[in-house]
Amino acid sequence: MSAAEQIPRNSIIWLLSAQLAVIIPLMGLMSWWMIAFWLLCAVWRVAMFRGEASFPGKIVRGTLVALGGLGVAISFSGLGSLEIAVALLILAFSLKLIEVRTRRDMYLVFCLALFIVAAAFLFSQSIFLAIYQVFSVVLIITAMVATQHSLYNREPALAMRMAGKLVAQAVPVMILFFLVFPRIEPIWSVPTNVPSAGIGMSDNIEPGDIAKLNQSDELAFRVEFDGPMPLREDMYWRGMTLSNFDGRKWSVGSYLTRNPGSENLAAKYELYGEPLRYKMTIEPTGKNWLFMLPIAIPIDSTQGSTMAFVQTEDFALRSVMALDRPVGIEVESYVNYSVGLNITEAQRVEYTKLPAGFNPRALSFAADLRERTASPQEYVDQLSKYMLEQDFYYTLEPPALGRDTVDDFIFGTRRGYCEHYANAFAFLLRAANIPARVVVGYQGGEINPHNMTLNVRQLDAHAWIEYWRAGSGWLRLDPTYIVAPDRIHLGFDGSLERDSEFANNKLLSPLFYKNMGLIKALRLRLDAINYTWQKKVVGFGADEQRDVLNDLLGGVTSLKLGILVAGILLIVLGILALWILRGARGINFSPEKMLYLKFCKKVSARLGLFRTKSETPQAFAERIIEKYPQSAEQIRAITTQYNEIAYADERSAANLDQLKAYIAGFQPSLARAKL
């Protein structure tokens, strides 16, 4: 290897920092041993650099590759192909570290690093990651710059300054292309990054499921209202209805397999009043359910080619495609409605069906109560009253229930969470032959005062019921509201703040800290910023692009666009060229030389005498004086002063000022000379 191809030390140091930086965001995805693997390679590289280790042989490298591959196969089995691809990338990236010998080899590592930076964006596109990755890119670029320095460069900061400058200069080009580059349809379908199981609502629930969901701080969706926000207690984000009960689990009914046309459905509901209009940005769930205020109707304009919806028989909205990336939709919700005024016999059977042999005490309790009440509505009221009067408690950590969940709950523990109440209530209604179903979705949400958006998180997950009444159709009933109205009024966080026991247990959980004043304010502020980012940047697709360009150009034509792009590019690059190349031309003269040249210019302009290239100032002075003796004194003074400064060991400011004054005072003119 020639000296010219050796990798400078600074470059290795920067490369190691850059590698660490690009791995950190993927830390959660990787296993601990991969970090150790990288660390091993990094330590090896440093040892090689210090001459304490040599390049690994073929056998060592082969073994490492095999071990890494095996590790990935074991650790990542069952995970998506995307995760495996990224894991393999990181492995290659670590291994390459102990293989690079020449400057040219380094570029493969740089490219891998940049690819991993991009890969992290497949898992999150938040503004915080984006800012962080700019920093990662600067580090990678720094390593690249350091590679190009002389081997003996001992100023590592120099490379970083250059890298920062380069990235800053590249930003205008980036913005321009981001705005105008056509957003075309995906060329082929790709494995999508579906959030891992456990996050988001599933298609069936049993007691305890939603409590698990409520531990998560993760965002489910954001809502931006086009007008005043409805009251929190009215915000029931309705997802799916569960009509199948197998004794323990409530699951989605058979209506999904039937596929009613929406025109049929429209006849089955009546909507009153002005709708609420709002825009939702839904985080990917990997499922098709949408959570809306009922009855929601998507606005046509937002039904882009990529999003299509189906209204199900229970008036919920389903996306045709699974939600595997953040989507934005605009909907109108009619909160005053009556639906399902008439139900078929088949439906009545379905919504009152109970499995045999479960909850005998509850069944007899229901039969008893139904006998004592005159109408189904009275039965419901009596049941609510019963719940309110008996000592039912709302708690996140209810005791476990046995086989007969309703029996155990109603006559035993009496401590439960929303799904316990929904489960019991729906069961008791069905037991009295009243059509009922469990509804899952979210309740309330957190209002961010900075941008007036509503953030609905997994911890807002909720379950309630709907029952059918002749003449009114399906009605919402939230048993939790009866037992713990705070849960609805104040939201999940608010109700927990009072539950000191719960808070104490969770002293170390982020849920606890997220409610402390300053932190909460900061969190909301950051959240608002991130939302704007998500909306404006991450959500920048073909439609947004068209709108922006329309605003800018007043109608997009390819000619206008071409001129705009070429023009901006020329201006940007022109400015950059002037900036970058400015030092390249001309010579930097010393200040006294600059002053002297000014003097020479004066002489040439006014007296018509030019100093030749080889002429010393002294000789030039004599030549001028010969022709224009009247200025002799001034010219001699200037020349002497200049020589004094030029040949002095130290340049003094006073001397320079003196020279400046002399030259300023030197005002020869041909007219005077001729006199």
Partner 1 sequence: MRIPSDLYQKRYRDRRGRQGRRSRFSWRQSWRAWIDKRLPPQREQVLSHRNIFIFPSRAGLVFTGLLIMLLLVAINFENSAIFALVFLLGGLFVVSILHTFGNLMGLKISGRSAEAAFAGRQAIFPIMLSASGRQHFGVQLSWQDISSDRIDVAKQSERSIPMRFRTGPRGICKPGRIKVETSYPLGLITAWTWVDLAIDTVVYPFPDKSAGDPVSQSAYHESGMQERAGSDDFFGLRSYVVGDSMRSVAWKTFAKTGQLSSKQFVDYIDHRLWLDWNKTTGDDEQRLQQLCHWALVAEAGHHEYGLRLPSVNVPPGRGMPHLNALLSELALYRLPLKQSSGSYAGSIRQAGSPKPSVAL
Enzyme catalytic residues: 418, 462, 478
Report the residue number, 177 or 610, with the smaller CB distance to partner 1: 177
* Residue 447 is a binding residue for partner 1 (CB under 8 A): no
Distance CA 320, CA 374 (A): 44
Could you tell me which stretch among 48-56, 121-129, 280-288, 390-398 binds partner 1 (CB under 8 A)? Answer: 121-129
Q: HSE of 494 in the Cβ direction (CA atoms, 13 Å)?
A: 14
Q: Coil, helix or strand for 211? A: helix
Report the residue number, 208 or 326, with the smaller CB distance to partner 1: 326
Instruction: Provide the 8-state DSSP code for 292.
Output: B
Exactly one of 46, 84, 130, 447 binds partner 1 (CB under 8 A); which one? Answer: 130
Pair 516, 257: CB distance under 8 Å: no
Distance CA 403, CA 359 (A): 8
Exactly one of 577, 619, 661, 664 binds partner 1 (CB under 8 A); which one? Answer: 577
Question: Can you say whether the dihedral through the CA atoms of 89, 91, 93, 95 is positive or negative?
Answer: negative
Distance CA 445, CA 527 (A): 14
* Residue 135 is a binding residue for partner 1 (CB under 8 A): no
User: CB of 546: closest distance to partner 1 in angstroms?
Assistant: 15
Quickly count: other Cβ atoms within 10 Å of residue 64's Cβ: 19
Pair 114, 137: CB distance under 8 Å: yes
Could you tell me which stretch among 158-166, 245-253, 407-415, 651-659 binds partner 1 (CB under 8 A)? Answer: 158-166
User: CB of 117: closest distance to partner 1 in angstroms?
Assistant: 6
* Residue 541 is a binding residue for partner 1 (CB under 8 A): yes
Distance CA 535, CA 240 (A): 27
* Residue 170 is a binding residue for partner 1 (CB under 8 A): yes
Report the residue number, 101 or 672, with the smaller CB distance to partner 1: 101
User: CB of 3: closest distance to partner 1 in angstroms?
Assistant: 5
Could you tell me which stretch among 209-217, 487-495, 534-542, 635-643 binds partner 1 (CB under 8 A)? Answer: 534-542
Residues within window 470-489 making contact with partner 1, judged by CB under 8 A:
none
Q: Coil, helix or strand for 304? A: coil
Could you tell me which stretch among 220-228, 475-483, 583-591, 602-610 binds partner 1 (CB under 8 A)? Answer: 583-591
* Residue 2 is a binding residue for partner 1 (CB under 8 A): yes
Q: Coil, helix or strand for 453? A: strand
End-to-end Cα spacing for the chain: 76
Q: Coil, helix or strand for 101? A: coil
Distance CA 144, CA 108 (A): 11
Exactly one of 45, 149, 437, 457 binds partner 1 (CB under 8 A); which one? Answer: 149
- Alpha-carbon radius of gyration of the chain: 38
Amino acid (1-letter code) at residue 642: Y
* Residue 128 is a binding residue for partner 1 (CB under 8 A): no
Q: Which of 103, 143, 104 is nearest to 22 (CA)?
A: 143
Taking CB under 8 A as the rule, which mask of x and - marks residues 66-105 in contact with partner 1?
-------------------------------------xx-
- Cβ-count burial 528-563 (b if 16+ within 10 Å, e if not): bebbebbbeebbeeebbbeeebeeeeeebeeeeeee
* Residue 643 is a binding residue for partner 1 (CB under 8 A): no
Could you tell me which stretch among 168-176, 328-336, 482-490, 617-625 binds partner 1 (CB under 8 A)? Answer: 168-176
Contacts of 613 (CB under 8 A, 6+ apart): none
Question: Can you say whether the dihedral through the CA atoms of 178, 182, 183, 184 is positive or negative?
Answer: negative
Report the residue number, 267 or 581, with the smaller CB distance to partner 1: 581
The H-or-E segment that residue 393 falls in is strand 393-394
User: CB of 650: closest distance to partner 1 in angstroms?
Assistant: 17
Q: Which of 9, 34, 11, 10 is nearest to 23 (CA)?
A: 34
Distance CA 26, CA 117 (A): 9
Distance CA 50, CA 389 (A): 78
Report the residue number, 59 or 187, with the smaller CB distance to partner 1: 187
* Residue 33 is a binding residue for partner 1 (CB under 8 A): no
* Residue 222 is a binding residue for partner 1 (CB under 8 A): no
Burial of 402 (0-12, 13-18, 19+ CB in 10 A): exposed
Exactly one of 71, 172, 208, 230 binds partner 1 (CB under 8 A); which one? Answer: 172
Q: How many of the chain's residues bind partner 1 (CB under 8 A)?
A: 70
Distances (CA, A) of 468 to 264, 363, 426: 20, 19, 11
* Residue 118 is a binding residue for partner 1 (CB under 8 A): yes
Could you tell me which stretch among 411-419, 554-562, 582-590, 606-614 binds partner 1 (CB under 8 A)? Answer: 582-590
User: CB of 224: closest distance to partner 1 in angstroms?
Assistant: 19
User: CB of 425: closest distance to partner 1 in angstroms?
Assistant: 43
Pair 436, 475: CB distance under 8 Å: no
Exactly one of 20, 108, 561, 625 binds partner 1 (CB under 8 A); which one? Answer: 108
Exactly one of 31, 102, 133, 352 binds partner 1 (CB under 8 A); which one? Answer: 133
Burial of 57 (0-12, 13-18, 19+ CB in 10 A): exposed
Q: Which of 645, 643, 640, 639 is nearest to 657 (CA)?
A: 645
* Residue 535 is a binding residue for partner 1 (CB under 8 A): no
Report the residue number, 122 or 322, with the smaller CB distance to partner 1: 122
Exactly one of 50, 78, 188, 267 binds partner 1 (CB under 8 A); which one? Answer: 188
* Residue 267 is a binding residue for partner 1 (CB under 8 A): no
Exactly one of 1, 184, 346, 675 binds partner 1 (CB under 8 A); which one? Answer: 184
User: CB of 296: closest distance to partner 1 in angstroms?
Assistant: 25
Enumerate binding residues for partner 1 (CB under 8 A). Answer: 2-4, 103-104, 107-108, 111, 114-115, 117-118, 121-122, 125, 129-130, 133-134, 137, 141, 144-145, 147-153, 162-163, 166-167, 169-178, 181, 183-184, 186-190, 192, 325, 537-541, 573, 576-577, 580-581, 583-588
